[in-house]
Amino acid sequence: MSHKALTPDTVTYITLMQGLCQVGRPQEALNLFKEMCSTGLLPNLVTFSILLDGFWKHGHLDEALKLLQSMQEKKLEPDIVFVMIKGLLKEGLSDEAYRLFRKMEDDGFMPDSCSYNVMIQGFLQIRDSSTAVRLIDEMVGKGFSADSTTFQMLLDLESPDEIISRFMRGSSRAEKKLEPDIILCTILIEGMFIAGKLEVAKELFSKLFADGIRPTIRTYNVMIKGLLKEGLSDEAYDLFRKMEDDGFLPDSWSYNIIINGLLKSGNRNMAVQVFKKMEQNGCKPDVVTYNTIIDSLCKDRLVNDAMELLSEMLDRAIPPNVFTYNSIVHGFCNLGQLNEATRLFKEMVGRDVMPDTVTFNILVDG
């Protein structure tokens, strides 16, 4: 292929390899790959993806594994390894995928949340719950969370009680005879809400108390947020009160969650009471707290009340952001008070708060 007057580059090789793989000639694509490497051109993520995909699609699993083995002798970039892992799992080659996953760590590349979720989902697809649970336990220990697909797939295979039991059997806590980690339990509850399993989440939360496991503020926050998402504002508020009765002092996240939920459900008076109680309990409202209330007031055309809160923010040295100003500018525009909207826009810029696309759209539409 090479010629003195015409030296192919990486793009040329990739284009030809892709074409050969698409017409079912991956072996010839591999020969081009070897030629490319011999010229000193470095393969990249796209190169490996095309070759592996070509071999797998056309049933050349042995050739794919040989290529994989030759590639594993090198220290590959994480993105390339990730593509290889996904391909192996897609073909049901979970053992090979697991070995490659571990090799990635040995090479100094730490798996992220996405890598873990892909691995876990691959094992759940072949109904290997034990390995999946061990990986979930491992990822949680590193500060990552499983995503909604992972939890949904796990629920399709196991009941909530089985999930808890399997987590205990499959984790290092079982060997050390430790209680279930409340961090892990909280993430499980959050996962049930993400997967739309309200009753399962409530069941797991109740099971904590039945098993004598003490929840944390984050556990309560996850439950309150989940209940509000399901439109159960009264139940969420009762749980918020129970948290205080149980000796937990709500943090700013707790207050922001419940205030936002109460406002969205139309319980402004209750939200204002919670806002006042927040300060009484020594928890200072932040920009999120103010933005939540200001936005709700403006949507209900109570822009003057929102302006009072903006003044309060400035007096308390809580810097308003673009969301704060957008809410009030939009409120003035909805009332037809374009002069006030323009004045506030100028004030916003004067305070070095940069307007965004939303700001300009509001002014144009106003």
230-263 tens-digit pLDDT: 989 899 999 999 998 888 889 999 999 999 999 9
**3 φ/ψ angles, rounded to the nearest 5 degrees:** -155, 150
Indicate the number of domains in the chain.
4
Residues 156 and 167 in one domain: yes
Question: Hunting for tokens 């909530």 — which residue is that?
Answer: 160
pLDDT given at position 173? 46
Question: Quick one: 33 and 134 in the same domain?
Answer: no
Question: Quick check: is 121 in a domain?
Answer: no
194 belongs to a structural domain: yes
Residue where a domain stops, chosen among 46, 77, 110: 110
Based on the domain organization, do 9 and 73 belong to the same domain?
yes
Q: Are residues 194 and 232 in the same domain?
A: no
State which residues of the chain have pLDDT below 70: 1-8, 42-45, 56, 58-65, 67-81, 107, 160-161, 163-181, 366
Domain CATH number, residue 90: 1.25.40.10
Give the whole-angstrom CA distance, residue 74 versus residue 100: 12
Tell the residue number behind the tokens 């649970």, with chain if given: 133
Angle between helix axes 61-72 and 78-90 (nearest 10 degrees) is 150
- Is residue 280 in a domain? yes
Q: Are residues 266 and 331 in the same domain?
A: no
Around Cβ 36, how many Cβ atoms within 10 Å? 22
Contact 145, 187 (CB under 8 A): yes
User: 3-class SS at 139?
Assistant: helix
What pLDDT is stored for residue 135 in this prediction? Answer: 85
Same domain, 239 and 334: no
Q: Is residue 348 part of a domain?
A: yes
Domain presence at residue 290:
no
Task: Indicate whether 352 belongs to any domain.
Answer: yes
Helix (H, G, I), strand (E, B) or coil at 223: helix
What does the block give as tokens for 68? 């994989």
Q: Residue 54 belongs to what domain range?
A: 1-110
Structural domain ending residue among the three candidates 214, 248, 265? 214
The values of phi and psi at residue 109, to 5°, are -100, 120
In-domain check, residue 256: yes
Task: Give pLDDT, residue 344.
Answer: 94
pTM exceeds 0.75, yes or no = no
The verdict on 165 and 186 lying in the same domain is yes
Query: Which class for 114: exposed (0-12), middle (13-18), buried (19 or more C-beta within 10 A)?
Result: exposed
Q: Under 8 Å CB-to-CB from 90, ≥6 apart: which residues?
A: 56, 122
Burial class (CB in 10 A: 0-12, 13-18, 19+), 309: buried
- Tell me: do 319 and 222 sit in the same domain: no
Asked if residues 290 and 313 have their Cβ atoms less than 8 Å apart, the reply is: yes
